[in-house]
Chains A and B, each alone.
Chain A
């Protein structure tokens, strides 16, 4: 782990909601019996009249969110990432087709869920959500970016938004004055030989990998691509032109997530090899969150190995479905 403090993204979410709740009287929050875990309970305690615990009934939560938005409310709805997915159709028909200002902020995404195991570790959500017309998708890298994203959505957010948070504390990579801009990435480290584009906690792994690569003579650029949709096409094309190789790293399936989207952009505008690191068409498993990255070959060493491989003729993807 990087030697920087780690902070909880979901704590940041709950606390920011409370701040925004005081500012915006039309802000309402819904949860489905997980508010003490998603941290919407912080808002709920401060503003009980504007907090709706819909019970273990996610479909009801999402349809109700649509009705509140149709009546002029700023809506935030939360549960674990995996459980929101059962409401795909409510999100599609009632929220996205009506193009409503509803913000879905989910926690406990990816393998950092840890011990609860495969049933709770969703690694497909970014792909599922990105396919929805009107939906925008954001994966904050740390607590500071989380606060900025939530503030942005409450103030200027338009249409449906999906924000993916996690259970674990993540290293704090941004400065306090950082301001999120939808559709824009942030370059954390410059470099000319190769670009590592990361999403979520794996940006911090990429920074560690870049340090090791430097000692081996490879100067890697590291980009935090928190805005997955709209994605920062300009930064991807620039990386393709200037560094010739792109590696993507994500706590998500390599299908339909950051890697796929990056490859799409490169393929559209400036084709270069895009090497994708992530979950390879597989479910997670129980274990400590951080151990699982090594188990699934998504750790710092794996990023180093894959990135070095960009410069070897023989590197090929292993075969999997």
Chain B
């Protein structure tokens, strides 16, 4: 696999962010906030950490990534196209008829491991994939990205119990802890307490990082991959809407595209990159 340096990863994350904005603006709908918050994480995973090959997407030894917060589909689709799973030109079909790029993550898209969109289910799917890896004596890792609104779902905690019971050290969860959900701030909608203490008490290794710091993301994932007995839960502190000033920490942009051509241009200008 090619070795990407931190400067490359930064450029890739910028490209992912640009494409997120382009996709949701073209679709006149979609979820930019929670896509922008995981752009740096996606860049690290798809361009450094995941053992995957776009030319051999079903290789049984590949690493798996399940985007459990399936509304962040623009981020995932952008990362997959940049990584070479399908032509970037297809991104314009996002949320439109006769395109495979469904509004929420869809397995018909090359590189997608599981359809998601109803919150709280992807971690259980990841548990199943990790169990299968153990049964087959494979060395692959399973990554699951969950949101901090999402972990209000009880099914997440059911899956956490299962991950610990079966000692799934091949399972790595990354929590996109951006503090915002559809109706407002997570601390107001349903305060969840100290997630690090909670997942630790569920029997997981917990690591807390800045989810926009490439070095910290890489080092947490590397550490998680070396776990001997426990699954790892990486708490990535992020900013919802990261990179676009009017979207940052603004619940409005959980599920709304730039409202005007001016907002659209401002977003691309602030993200920077290509132009």
**Contact with B158, one of A60, A70, A72 (Cβ below 8 angstroms):** A60
Tell me, yes or no, whether B42 is within 8 Å of chain A by CB. Answer: no
| CB closest chain-B residue, reference A62 | B124
Q: Which residues between 109 and 130 of chain B lie within 8 Å of chain A, taking CB atoms? A: 113-118, 120-130
Tell me, yes or no, whether B151 is within 8 Å of chain A by CB. Answer: no
**Are B161's CB and A64's CB within 8 A?**
no
How does the 8 Å CB contact mask read for A58-95 relative to B, with 1 for contact and 0 for none?
01101111111111110000000000000001101110
Tell me, yes or no, whether A52 is within 8 Å of chain B by CB. Answer: yes
Take A28-B135, A72-B60 as given contacts and tell me if A64 and B127 are in contact as well, using a CB distance cutoff of 8 Å: yes
Residues on B with C-beta less than 8 A from A57 are 158, 161-162
**Are A55's CB and B124's CB within 8 A?**
no
How does the 8 Å CB contact mask read for B149-180 relative to A, with 1 for contact and 0 for none?
00000110011011001100000000000000
Tell me, yes or no, whether A49 is within 8 Å of chain B by CB. Answer: yes
CA distance A142 to B107 in the complex (A): 38
**Are A63's CB and B161's CB within 8 A?**
no
**Are A65's CB and B120's CB within 8 A?**
no
Chain B nearest CB from A281 CB (Å) reads 29
Which has the most chain A C-beta neighbours within 10 Å: B60, B116, B129?
B129
CA distance A86 to B124 in the complex (A): 15
Chain B nearest CB from A9 CB (Å) reads 27
Tell me, yes or no, whether A212 is within 8 Å of chain B by CB. Answer: no
CA distance A262 to B26 in the complex (A): 46
**Contact with B115, one of A55, A73, A97 (Cβ below 8 angstroms):** A97
| CB closest chain-A residue, reference B126 | A67
Tell me, yes or no, whether A260 is within 8 Å of chain B by CB. Answer: no
Take A59-B120, A60-B158 as given contacts and tell me if A98 and B128 are in contact as well, using a CB distance cutoff of 8 Å: no
**Are B127's CB and A60's CB within 8 A?**
yes
Residues on B with C-beta less than 8 A from A158 are none
What is the interface of chain B mostly: helix, strand, loop, or mixed?
helix
| CB closest chain-A residue, reference B154 | A59
CA distance A150 to B179 in the complex (A): 47
**Are A68's CB and B131's CB within 8 A?**
yes
**Contact with A93, one of B121, B128, B132, B162 (Cβ below 8 angstroms):** B121
**Are B128's CB and A71's CB within 8 A?**
yes
Q: How many A residues touch the partner, as a band?
A: 20 to 34
Chain B nearest CB from A94 CB (Å) reads 5
Tell me, yes or no, whether B133 is within 8 Å of chain A by CB. Answer: yes
Residues on B with C-beta less than 8 A from A69 are 128
| CB closest chain-B residue, reference A52 | B131
Residues on B with C-beta less than 8 A from A66 are 114, 121, 124-125, 128
Residues on B with C-beta less than 8 A from A65 are 128
Tell me, yes or no, whether A272 is within 8 Å of chain B by CB. Answer: no
CA distance A143 to B158 in the complex (A): 34
**Are A94's CB and B162's CB within 8 A?**
no
**Are B124's CB and A94's CB within 8 A?**
yes
CA distance A131 to B145 in the complex (A): 30
**Are A98's CB and B135's CB within 8 A?**
no
Tell me, yes or no, whether A306 is within 8 Å of chain B by CB. Answer: no
Chain B nearest CB from A29 CB (Å) reads 12
Residues on A with C-beta less than 8 A from B114 are 66-67, 70, 94, 98
Residues on A with C-beta less than 8 A from B115 are 93-94, 97-98
**Are A64's CB and B124's CB within 8 A?**
yes
Tell me, yes or no, whether A54 is within 8 Å of chain B by CB. Answer: yes
Q: Which residues between 96 and 117 of chain B lie within 8 Å of chain A, taking CB atoms? A: 107, 113-117
Residues on A with C-beta less than 8 A from B120 are 59
Residues on B with C-beta less than 8 A from A73 are 132, 135
Chain A nearest CB from B160 CB (Å) reads 9
Chain B nearest CB from A83 CB (Å) reads 13
**Are A71's CB and B161's CB within 8 A?**
no
Q: Which residues between 103 and 143 of chain A lie within 8 Å of chain B, taking CB atoms? A: none
Tell me, yes or no, whether A189 is within 8 Å of chain B by CB. Answer: no
**Contact with B135, one of A50, A60, A97 (Cβ below 8 angstroms):** A50
**Contact with B159, one of A63, A70, A89, A97 (Cβ below 8 angstroms):** A63
**Are A68's CB and B128's CB within 8 A?**
yes
Residues on B with C-beta less than 8 A from A90 are 121, 124, 155
CA distance A173 to B70 in the complex (A): 48
**Are B162's CB and A60's CB within 8 A?**
yes
Residues on A with C-beta less than 8 A from B113 are 70
Residues on A with C-beta less than 8 A from B121 are 59, 63, 66, 89-90, 93-94
CA distance A63 to B115 in the complex (A): 12
Q: Which residues between 134 and 155 of chain B lie within 8 Å of chain A, taking CB atoms? A: 135-136, 154-155
**Are A70's CB and B129's CB within 8 A?**
yes
**Are A67's CB and B127's CB within 8 A?**
yes
Residues on B with C-beta less than 8 A from A98 are 107, 114-115
Residues on B with C-beta less than 8 A from A55 are 158, 161-162, 165
Mind listing 7 A-B residue pairs with CB under 8 Å?
A: A59-B121, A62-B124, A64-B131, A68-B132, A70-B129, A71-B128, A72-B132
The interface of chain A, by Cβ under 8 A from chain B, is 28, 49-50, 52, 54-55, 57, 59-60, 62-73, 89-90, 92-94, 97-98
Closest A-B pairs by Cβ, 10 of them: A67-B128, A63-B124, A71-B132, A60-B158, A57-B158, A59-B155, A67-B125, A64-B128, A68-B128, A67-B129
The interface of chain B, by Cβ under 8 A from chain A, is 60, 66, 107, 113-118, 120-133, 135-136, 154-155, 158-159, 161-162, 165-166
- Besides A62-B124, A69-B128, 19 more A-B contacts (Cβ < 8 Å) are A50-B135, A52-B166, A59-B158, A60-B127, A63-B128, A63-B155, A64-B131, A64-B162, A65-B128, A67-B124, A68-B128, A68-B129, A70-B113, A72-B132, A73-B135, A94-B116, A94-B124, A98-B107, A98-B115
